Chains A and B, each alone.
Chain A
Amino acid sequence: MTDQPAQAPLPPQQAVMQLLFGKQLTYCLSGVAWLGVADHLDATPMPVEEIAAKTGAHAPSLYRVMRLLASMGIFKEEQGKRFALTPAGEFLKSDTPGTLRYFAMMFGDEWTTRAYEHFTGCLRSGQDGISQAYGNHVFDVLAERPKQLEVFQAAMTSGSALAGEAINQAYNFSGIKRLADVGGGHGALLASILRRYPEMQGVLFDRAEIVAGVPQDRFAGCEGRIAIEAGSFFERVPDGCDAYIMKHIIHDWSDEHCRTILDLMREKLPRDGRVLVCEMVVTDEPGPTPAKMLDIEMLVMTVGGKERTPEEFRQLFASSGLRLTRIVPTSRPISVIEAVPA
């Protein structure tokens, strides 16, 4: 979204309408993602009736939605109400690496929708939309909704694969002896780092119910180099590590909560240790950057979570006795923000 081709600006009236119709696009994508439309398509055009039959859809309605998405470059419409998949549309297939199918489904799910109903309330009070809609924290809301939780986790996992690869390519982890991935989920990032650095030891740390779900073969080939620990990062972090990595953890929480986590790390960290925070960074770059957009999602969906500017990261680290040393960009909209004991 930052490298759009130069084009004549729309007249203001149409520009506002296009922004306002953003919701329609989200839900169109969400609808076809739920039906799994892309899984039945490739570059060969298929009649919409056939697509509808395969996905259990109402053909005339599906046609109207696919026509709109074709105009946005997701499908290619051919004579006779036939559609093919474009390269952008490939990302709605379930098995495309970095698939966005589950994100699309999630963005249309009830729990994300209801939270957005309270956007004005967020603006008035600063309180998040989930609390206003459900009187509960997002993770508690999801815990009560297994199907929606499943979609959420699939969305997070699919985004993780590409980001993990990009982090691994961009940052030089050599020199680290024992790395703890705090809030490391099912261990995809840690496993990819351990495979690349055969001398390194790793600790996967997350809540008990999460680490219980780590796939059996996740750390295949890293035997003897990996420990799995269960716990809450507000209470403790693993011992004996010279580096801690946290991917998409800090942006979930307020400064105050982040300090609790960072303080725990600071206490355990050796003089030459480091903290690696993997997040988007809000820059002064004009345009609707991914960081600015995701920041709105955090505003509505989390209690105090946000995307931060370099200055905000610097201050956050400083308040926990850490010093930001550098920000390493990756090929994806995620950076590695490195800090050491101050």
Chain B
Amino acid sequence: MQLLFGKQITYAVSGIARLGVADHMDGTPKPVKEIAAKTGAHAPTLYRVMRMLAGLGVFKEGPKRHFVLAPVGELLRTNALGSLRYMAMMLGEEFSTRAYEHVATCLRTGGNGVTEAYSKPIWDVLAERPEQRDTYQRAMSNVSAVSAHAIAAAYDFSSIERLADVGGGQGLLLATLLRRYPYLHGVLFDRPEVVAGVPADRFESYTGRVELEGGSFFDRVPDGCDAYVLKHIIHDWSDEHCGKILSRIREKLPKDGRLLVCDLVVSDEPGPTPAKMLDFQMLIMTDGGQERTEEEFRDLLAASGLRLTRIVPTGRPISVIEAVPA
């Protein structure tokens, strides 16, 4: 029954995140009426939801009908380090909700929920819904901020001269790496509409060390790089699609070059690991995307002439999977 009530929890956290409740709280207990007034909420309803979430450690209640943020709840603040506010909002959005209605069908056919619900892939669905796309992008940036630091700290990039971040989005990871490695040159590569949205100040300290290129990684990847990084790209796609991306990279990679795939790795560790949970999200939301085991990464890379050399954990759920030309 606890597992069945998971949905209620997701939507409760999502609703609280959307109202921005955590942004109006601090270290002192606030009456629920005051929080409701500040967030435009219906106080008796807000109370019931906060009471339930207090039971789950998001808030603490005391005195009666007064709430304070617990450390878990802190992460719902917009500006918290590693904030998950937009991630929480996203998981309650219509595009994500409608897809989940089709789980039984996905299980029967192997198709995905977004295509079942909208008859088109997730990227097209989001393109038509600017507000939901905005939430989605902020959610991804939230996660990126934390994982970029973890990757930069865990993996030694020092012998790389020119690194392309393929599908690098708004360049957060690349900027983090350029800051840490002052001799590194970088290429940010993503679809033209994505690189057009890179914040003007993202690379302002790295003039002369960074280039922005627009294009599709199914067609081509940047030239003249000794390393390519793919963060949360491979898990979006089927083996067949990944094969295309990896082959483009393999063609351009020098003998001593390397590919760094940053994704979660499904291990034999018991319990509901983040990788297993995210894998279900990929099953429902993407056309063939999945989280992979070490063996699956090895096979996938081998199929494109690459050899998995090691998997570097980061202290966060994400790992760096290193591969070289076979």
- Please list the residues of chain A having a beta carbon within 8 angstroms of any beta carbon in chain B: 1, 9, 12-32, 34-35, 56-58, 60-62, 64-65, 67-68, 71-72, 74, 100, 103-104, 107-110, 112-114, 116-117, 119-120, 122-126, 282, 286-290, 292-293, 295-297, 299-300, 306
Contacts and interface: CB of A to CB of B under 8 A. Distances in A.
Given A72-B3, A100-B4, A13 B107 contact: no
A159 to B, nearest CB: 10
B45 A299 contact: yes
Most chain B beta-carbon contacts within 10 A, residue among A13, A34, A103, A117: A13
Contacts of A114: 97
Interface in B98-149: 98, 100-101, 103-104, 106-110, 146
Q: Is the interface of A mostly helix, strand, loop or mixed?
A: helix
Interface of B: 1-16, 18-19, 40-42, 44-46, 48-49, 51-52, 55-58, 71-72, 74-76, 82, 84, 87-88, 91-92, 94, 97-98, 100-101, 103-104, 106-110, 146, 266, 270-274, 276-277, 279-281, 283-284, 290, 317
Contacts of B72: 12, 15-16, 19
Contacts of B13: 16, 19-20
Contacts of A107: 4, 7
Given A19-B58, A31-B103, A71 B272 contact: yes
A13 B49 contact: no
B82 A125 contact: no
A108 B103 contact: yes
Contacts of B107: 31-32, 34-35, 57-58, 61-62, 65
B55 A289 contact: yes
A119 B14 contact: yes
A113 B13 CA distance: 16
22 contacts: A12-B74, A14-B274, A18-B277, A19-B10, A19-B13, A24-B277, A24-B281, A27-B280, A31-B104, A35-B108, A58-B106, A58-B110, A61-B283, A72-B3, A104-B4, A107-B4, A108-B100, A120-B15, A120-B18, A288-B55, A295-B48, A299-B45
B5 A293 contact: yes
Contacts of A60: 110
Nearest to A288: B55
Nearest to A58: B110
